[in-house]
Amino acid sequence: MSRPAAEGPGRVPHRRGSAPATGRCVGRRRYCGPVAGFDWAGLERDLTAALVRAVSSVIAAHPDERCYAAALWLLYRESDGPIRFPLLAANTVEALQRAPAEDRDDLRWSPADWDHGDIDWLSDEDGGRWERDLAAHACRGTPAQWDAAFRRFVTALVTACRRARRELRRDLVVVVIDDELHETVIPRILPAAEVRRHFPELDEQAAAWAALAALPPAEQAAHLVGLLDTCDGPITREPAERALRDLGPVAIPALIPLLAVPGAAWQAAKILADIGRPDGDVVTALTAAVSRTAGSDQSWVAAALARLGRLDVVLAAPLPTDVVVTAAAAPYVSFRDHTVAPPPLDYTPLVRVLEERPDVAAGLEEELAPGAGMCEIHAGEVDEAVRGTESPHPVVRRHAVTVLGERRLGTAVGRRVLPVLARLAVDDPDALVRRLAVVGLSFWGRPALAHLDAGRSATQDLDPTVRRAATAWLRDAMASAPNSSQPNR
């Protein structure tokens, strides 16, 4: 589905040479040995000392320049996986002045563009030890424990920044720069007056949202619709989209007229699908729009109908094959997760398309290929996903295996799902299903160790990609086994 490049959920920066934080790769280490606790106080002391030492060295090396800021940035993390230590950057007033005047506002808080963008601040030995210990702590149990550990890690960074500033010059700002955490982490580090001085956009955002909240809901919706093409200002497009979704049905009357606006129809369709109410007015408006729109607008309108359970409308219209493909795949990809309350997983419409429209089968295989970003299911949808693993259509089985390979479904689900994945890893006739089943087992971590025999069998698979996935899983599983003497990574 084509869309403007900036559209989509907030991005998590990733470390150079590493996979994106939202990606899943066969070879990454997922297992961490159990630990009794974690020395947060010790981490904060070491981070503070390292910050002070590194920034002081930069200041000493440039005595004729005044350092105005140091920043910890590029916080690479994978949910339920590795947490990497950030890079350290620093910049001087003089370096900022050397930049073209029109670029200075953008460069002021852009560590990647600073003169000192990657300062050596943690030794390989200390950084490696802390990262291993942090991984062991974060991955010791459930995904919820990982979430808690990451939140506590952010607190440690905040503490280190505040302490380091007390030891450095008071006029030198030490902060954490992260796209996803920006609005919450900066006020934890700086006093309110300094937030207003250095990051005035945060105050402007708070004031804009407060003014919006004072309006009646229908007026809020009308105002937010007017911000959907805004890239600058206190409320930009993506926050406006989320706010319209959260307003729910009250936003629908303000969104429907946008379906008649070329270049804006795609956005209205997406938000209507995110609201998730297939009311008569919504379906009628989308049905009319799918026939009169074209290009990206038409693809998003068709996808919205499918996400609202009305793929039948799409199939009944004379639409281009690629539009039908996009719509048929829409209920099964990650955009489904934007919906306030997505319809339960149901493979029936997908099977119908595969059997009634063989011309779209190849397109659906590509649209639902591994790495395309599948939806996340909840425990109540596991029955349908397990049923999908028995489908005669490989594309359905691939999707089902992928969504079942998720440890966040919980221990009780794991007891049912892991034997299914183990069987498919060995017996499924489709090599890609077998590989995805092995990968799914690896993503389950410690609960999947009881099924290592399936991994051993998969190392003898005729397909080299299955063999590689199985070998990687066994290697990492052995390194993380409770009786393993190997360090966690």
Domain-located, residue 207: no
274 neighbors 304 (Cβ within 8 angstroms): no
Count of structural domains, the chain: 1
Domain-located, residue 86: yes
Domain-located, residue 134: yes
Q: Given this model, what pLDDT does residue 481 score?
A: 66
Q: Please list the residues that pair with 333 across neighbouring strands.
A: 374
Q: Given this model, what pLDDT does residue 488 score?
A: 37
Domain-located, residue 67: yes
Domain-located, residue 239: no
**Digit-coded pLDDT (tens) for 227-249:** 999 999 999 999 999 999 999 99
| Distance from C-alpha of 195 to C-alpha of 178, rounded to nearest angstrom | 15
Domain-located, residue 158: yes
433 neighbors 388 (Cβ within 8 angstroms): no
Q: Given this model, what pLDDT does residue 58 score?
A: 97
Starting at the earlier edge strand, list the strands of the sheet with 67-73.
116-119, 87-92, 67-73, 173-177
What is the C-alpha radius of gyration for the chain, rounded to an integer number of angstroms?
25
**Digit-coded pLDDT (tens) for 137-166:** 998 888 999 999 999 999 999 999 999 999
Determine the residue type at 66: R
Q: Would the CA dihedral through 288, 239, 340, 331 be positive or negative?
A: positive
Domain-located, residue 174: yes
Q: Given this model, what pLDDT does residue 482 score?
A: 58
Q: Given this model, what pLDDT does residue 24 score?
A: 31
| Residue-number span of the structural domain to which 44 is assigned | 40-198
Domain-located, residue 74: yes
Reported pTM: 0.83
| Distance from C-alpha of 319 to C-alpha of 357, rounded to nearest angstrom | 12
Q: List, for the chain, all residue ranges whose pLDDT scores fall below the cut of 50.
A: 1-35, 484-489
Q: Given this model, what pLDDT does residue 480 score?
A: 73
